[in-house]
A = this chain, B = another copy of it.
């Protein structure tokens, strides 16, 4: 292709029922496309303050340090680790999927000493394993795990795991990328000290920001670090000067102004529906999908007791080709579902019911399309 033939792009977007991004509603897209304000404009600073308040509510926290990082969830993850892990700190990471493994990488790259607790893909992290690891490693500073594992569809028992970590005086870092607004999550009640999420999952905002929250205990650790945070861009001591309380805001980086408009609107939308109503909708629509998929003979990879309603991982039936089936769904039925990731690549599909995508009409569309393809 030569440059001169490249012109404006017009996407023909399918219904998004993969592991995220989910369908972004028109009201959020409209908010996104409003005229750009300067990142230090007083009215934008007012919007930032509102956004923090709304996000506190969605995270169910009173943490002052609650805001979006100006980059995707992977950067939110990194913000948690580079700020909280000091060189030599021992960190226990619970892994039962791709994203626990990414946490482990983050600990290593932050100079920490990582202790890995592994559970099989598709199963929960076992609380007794965490307890045993803490007994064996009494110098552990931090316990980290994923609440909703996007690669497997498993919900880990965040409340119990945090309670154990607290018994041993540890800080807790919890990945809530796929859980936020999709299933119950209580940052304060569950004693989560640091958490990062994504905008493009159950909030149904465009991808590109990572909502984060830090407890006062976490903040204390960050402020008393002996070594500087290795990342300038993600150093919360600096970011706080821009996102912090009060009128005075110091320039740190240029905020993604339009994405913040969209994020604010998506939070308003979630709270207009009501957080509990959103959780209930995800559960109800999941049950409806479950009936449909089981009627097709598809089997879930995850036990019902800890299965995520917003991310349904099913085994690809024998004799069915993975890639061509997904391509057919996309090209003939305007429907995106997710491929398997990591150990599940080629073995499972990930069918998302997140945020705006989580409707019975979408379930009908998906089950009907799969019925046609699988019966051929």
Residue among A12, A77, A254, A265 with most chain B CB within 10 A? A254
Rounded to whole angstroms, the CA-CA distance of A180 and B258 in the bound complex is 21
For A38, give the chain B residue with the smallest CB separation: B336
Give how many A residues have a beta carbon under 8 Å from the other chain's beta carbons: 84
Whether B341 contacts A73 by the Cβ 8 Å rule is no
Binds B, one of A21-29, A125-133, A167-175: A21-29
Known: A21-B36, A44-B11. A74 touches B232 (CB 8 A): yes
Known: A102-B232, A232-B105, A336-B41. A11 touches B261 (CB 8 A): yes
Which of B29, B47, B77, B207 is close to A9, meaning CB atoms less than 8 Å apart?
A: B47
User: Is A54 positioned at the interface, with any CB of B under 8 Å from its CB?
Assistant: yes
Whether A31 contacts B8 by the Cβ 8 Å rule is yes
Rounded to whole angstroms, the CA-CA distance of A231 and B229 in the bound complex is 12
A108 contacts which chain B residues (CB < 8 A)? 228
Whether A74 contacts B264 by the Cβ 8 Å rule is no
For A341, give the chain B residue with the smallest CB separation: B251
Q: Mark A335-367, 1 if CB is under 8 A from B, else 0.
A: 010010100000000000000000000000000
User: Is A200 positioned at the interface, with any CB of B under 8 Å from its CB?
Assistant: yes
Residue among A74, A110, A200 with most chain B CB within 10 A? A74
Known: A74-B252, A207-B256, A268-B8. A13 touches B37 (CB 8 A): yes
User: Is A71 positioned at the interface, with any CB of B under 8 Å from its CB?
Assistant: yes
Whether B1 contacts A206 by the Cβ 8 Å rule is no
Residue among A23, A38, A40, A72 with most chain B CB within 10 A? A38
Known: A73-B253, A200-B254, A256-B72. A35 touches B41 (CB 8 A): no
Whether B32 contacts A32 by the Cβ 8 Å rule is yes
Which of B72, B200, B230, B254 is close to A230, meaning CB atoms less than 8 Å apart?
A: B230
Whether A208 contacts B208 by the Cβ 8 Å rule is yes
Whether B232 contacts A43 by the Cβ 8 Å rule is no
A373 contacts which chain B residues (CB < 8 A)? none
Known: A50-B1, A256-B207. A43 touches B109 (CB 8 A): no
Whether B36 contacts A24 by the Cβ 8 Å rule is yes
A53 contacts which chain B residues (CB < 8 A)? 1, 3, 6
Rounded to whole angstroms, the CA-CA distance of A44 and B11 in the bound complex is 8
Which of B34, B36, B268 is close to A207, meaning CB atoms less than 8 Å apart?
A: B36
Residues of A bordering B, CB below 8 Å: 1, 3, 6-14, 16, 18, 20-21, 23-24, 27, 29-44, 47, 49-50, 53-54, 57, 70-75, 77-78, 82, 102, 105-106, 108-110, 198, 200, 206-208, 228-233, 251-259, 261, 264-265, 268, 271, 330, 336, 339, 341
| Apart from A11-B261, A72-B233, A208-B258, 17 more pairs, CB < 8 Å | A8-B265, A9-B34, A9-B264, A11-B37, A16-B38, A18-B38, A20-B254, A21-B39, A24-B35, A29-B34, A71-B71, A78-B232, A206-B258, A207-B255, A207-B257, A208-B259, A230-B230
